[in-house]
Structure 1
């Protein structure tokens, strides 16, 4: 990430980078203006040095595979223009994010990001905007965002950014630590006001896994012991996922959820997953096309909207990243996504020097989105901060230092 020619920091660049993040965080608030801001800001950095941008994109071309597949899916989609437009927008989001990450100084990047989040968390804290969950009757704070889920995701990321800025900024960078402390305080207050147990739990788990991973990576243990521990952890993860999938299909899961006073359908998710699996069986190889399901007059979409008691045409997904991508891009997209996830984990395990705040933030982002992927589908969406952060994680994990390994 430091191998490229950084743009000279000046007032104009600060404004461009801040506007870039503002358009991603406030995209549900200012609508189409956010897309215009994003394209103008991202495009201006891209064309600043075309040859340098091309060199960067060539190195990280793996990140462009799924966006390109999304565009190609327009050929077999029933809503070809929606798939094509969405795919192009996803490609632009990915391209601009990659170039920005590689060409902007990391301190400027983080300071603009944290300042944007301070505004977003402050506005959400002051806001009384709420939304009614049609299935549960629960009224939830949504702040400046379009839904409770989007508030939860951005608040969780805000906590992560605040922790990184306050605890991992250079000791001499007092401004960054102050901004980080303010953001952490505001994000925690939003969490408390939103009364979201699920978000609080996922944030806590992601921070715990982040610190556990960094502690484990810095331990000087033998290569063979580390290999065995890695194998053991992977086996445990696969077992947990397998047990969770199996339990969802058995009656004792429903009984357990009723016993603790929770909804065994996970707020309708089990039904939505089943409808997604039905669609997969209809188009298993290539899928239905990028963003081609949740459109007005689609029978499956209308059925899910009616089941969830939301307005027809509302933004929606299958609340599971693996099901969602298989539905839209078929086994081809699912396979590429899983291979990319495995490569991302492999890159993650090559890192052991955690003095770079961008790397630490990327580790938090990875654990948060990975744990969320089983209940939400927020990745691979155009003009979203999530897509930027996944690009950040891939690029940060690619910039590694070699470990001195004890093989005795």
Structure 2
């Protein structure tokens, strides 16, 4: 058996792990473990890591390089890991930031190597199951008039899960490429998700899900409009941004009245304003690089212990400042805030460019989910944490906006190259197996399929002695001319 010199440097992966059925099962396992992480704890984290690692190692070298090209998406997790050097609790920061980096990295791997429809269908199935189990577990609390927490650690997180169900169901409904058999289930998923949303009684989830759904529907119909109309609509949407900034005070007062009169919330948004004030003080203590990722909310910290006692958190864990920008500032200072803001600005700009230039079927889902997450950043801070379905969706949509393309053709080409890697070729000395890698040059391929034999004076087209040589017409003897018999011969 002969091999090319660079065979040992080329990893072709395991093709059976990249079939559509295997990919769906792996995505379902990952989504389920993240949605049930509050119940499964360490077991859920291990399932996610094991499934993600097994899938990543099954990829061929070409797809691994494809994932590596999207490394800039992981700027914030990398900065979090680097904060171990100046953290107040280096051991805690290193453990949490490494877990966060693996969570965000898995999102990049999923987007760059898995067809998005496969991921959406698996996410829909996992979210439907999580909401069903949550309603069953919280039936007694619902009957007593309490908010539904279900499989999550809080009603806000349960509302997030319901929001994921609504948005994934809506994406399936709007995408004509999904089989029709999925449509009734998707419509039922929308209705069930809205029901769970109201049972969870989370005002922020109502707003985020509504705006995300509107964005998804708008992008879907926007893509079917003529180009001139799309340019005008996008320009108008961009002009609304400075208008909204100038009217920020008016919008804030109206939002406060809506929160008090309609949603039944107090003017401090359930104590969030005091948390924001304290977060600003903690940022001022270490403004440049912060206290270190995850180093503030730890047992033994006097500031964290005081806030836990004030807000009645007996477990002394699972709390935050309810503002993603302030949370980033406490953890990583202005460096973290700037990194997070630049990531969002780049994502919005990339989405605008893609809306103008492409008609990708994945854009409605990416834009809708990203919008639903973005509008929650001023009042929630659960998107930059480890083993979180929200962190996974955030970095997946960011990667989709910045490196968006249809993954299906890329995977098809990679699969074809893998199957064609080992071929049987006939040569003049017998039948051998020779590995042909995608890196083979045109000259090497020509030598494999064309054999030249000067001693015979012939050029064989094909491979080996089994090929038939072309007939040399000049060396063949001419046929004798046929004599015509006279017509008058008796």
- Give 1:84's match in structure 2, choosing from 90, 94, 98: 94
In terms of fraction of residues, the more helix-rich structure is 1
Q: How does 1:4-403 map to 2 (within 5 A)?
A: 8-9=18-19, 11-49=21-59, 51-128=61-138, 139-170=146-177, 173-215=179-221, 218=225, 220-221=227-228, 229-241=236-248, 262-352=265-355, 356=361, 358-397=362-401, 398-399=403-404
Q: Distance in 2 between matches of 1:206 and 1:215?
A: 14
Tell me the secondary structure at the aligned position of residue 354 of structure 2: coil
Q: How many residues align?
A: 385
1:57 deviates by 3.0
Summarize deviations over 1:271-329 as a string: whole Å, max 9, x none: 00001000110010000111111111212212221222222522011101111111101
RMSD: 2.9
Q: Structure 2: where are the runs of 5+ without partners?
A: 1-13, 407-490
- Return the TM-score normalized by structure 1: 0.85
TM superposition shift of 1:386: 1.2
Q: Which moved more, 1:186-195 or 1:89-98?
A: 186-195
Question: How far apart, in 1, do the equivalents of 2:257 and 2:374 lie?
Answer: 27
Query: How far 1:224 moved relative to its partner?
Result: 8.1
2:481 alignment partner in structure 1: none
In 1: Cα distance, 2:197 partner to 2:250 partner: 30
- SS of structure 2 residue aligned to 1:19: helix
* Structure 1: 5+ residue stretches without partners: 133-137, 402-408
Q: Judge which range, 121-130 or 283-292, deviates more.
A: 121-130
Q: CA deviation at 1:170?
A: 1.6
TM-score (norm 2): 0.71
- Provide the C-alpha distance between the structure 1 equivalents of 2:21 and 2:177, rounded to a whole number of angstroms: 22
In the superposition, relative to structure 1, how do residues 256 and 26 fare at CA in structure 2: closer, same or farther (>3 Å)? closer
Residues 333 and 95 (structure 1), Cα distance of their counterparts in 2 relative to 1, 3 Å cut: same
Q: Is the 8 A contact 1:168 1:355 kept in 2?
A: no
Cα 1:105–1:256 shift into 2, 3 Å: closer
- Tell me the alpha carbon deviations over residues 86-122 of structure 1, each in whole angstroms, 9 at most, x when there is no partner: 1111111122221122222333222211111111111
| Residues 273/115 of structure 1: CA separation in 2 closer, same or farther (3 Å cut) | same
Q: Does the 8 Å CA contact 1:125/1:186 hold for their aligned counterparts?
A: no
Q: 1:294 to 1:44 in 2, by over 3 A?
A: same
